[in-house]
Amino acid sequence: MHHVFKERMNMKLNHGLTVFLLSSIVVLAGATASGQQTSPKSVSKQMSGKQSSPNSKEDEIARGRYLVEEVAKCPDCHTPRDSTGAVDRSRWLQGAPIWIMPVKSKQDWAMSAPSLINFSYSDDQAFGILEKGVGTNGIPIQRPMHIYHLHHEDAAAIIAYLRSLSRPK
């Protein structure tokens, strides 16, 4: 009986070590791919799930841009498309008709995505959308918009980025 218990404990330890090593590799690879310097301290922060606060407003805006463009993929719906169906970069985040439709009709499906240029939402409205999924009218935001429950720092970075954009002349 003691032998079986010892084998199970070894399996759990090996599994835990494997998960830790794979997580470390993912963190290091992500940091290296993004050009960040990695140190044991920064890996430890990333592994613990704690994000370091931005060093400057520019860092916060850059983080927001990354979250908007690469994670949430906001331009896919909030940017008009050209005649070939590609995102029209000359009208970046200027609002657009929704180009995807549900298989079955849905009443709460939005027909257009608003412009994110000259971000006109108050802090309370913007944090409500990004942290709670509540629209400016007090009800859940319409699909196909995802209902986000972002950490406050991520929401603040997104808001900073969107407020840094201005409508092209």
Q: 14 in helix, strand or coil? A: helix
Tell whether 61 and 17 lie within a shared domain.
no
What is the chain's mean pLDDT, rounded? 76
Tell whether 68 and 16 lie within a shared domain.
no
37-52 pLDDT per residue, tens: 444 444 334 444 445 4
Tell whether 74 and 152 lie within a shared domain.
yes
Q: What's the pLDDT band for 53 if we cut at 50, 70, 90?
A: low
pLDDT higher than 80, residue 156: yes
Tell whether 62 and 44 lie within a shared domain.
no
Residue 35 sits in which domain range?
A: 1-50
5-26 pLDDT per residue, tens: 445 444 444 444 333 333 433 3
Tell whether 79 and 151 lie within a shared domain.
yes
pTM reported for the whole predicted model = 0.64
Tell whether 63 and 38 lie within a shared domain.
no
Tell whether 93 and 123 lie within a shared domain.
yes
State the alpha helices, DSSP H only, in the chain.
Answer: 2-33, 40-48, 57-66, 75-78, 123-127, 152-164
Q: How many domains does the chain have?
A: 2
Tell whether 82 and 2 lie within a shared domain.
no
Tell whether 112 and 159 lie within a shared domain.
yes
Which of 54-68, 105-119, 121-135 shows the lowest mean pLDDT across its residues? 105-119
**In the block, residue with structure tokens 């301290």:** 41
- Residue 97: the pLDDT is 92
| Distance (Å, whole) CA 60 – CA 42 | 17
Tell whether 148 and 90 lie within a shared domain.
yes
If one compares 120 and 22, the residue with the highest pLDDT of the two is: 120
Tell whether 42 and 62 lie within a shared domain.
no
- Residue 28: the pLDDT is 38
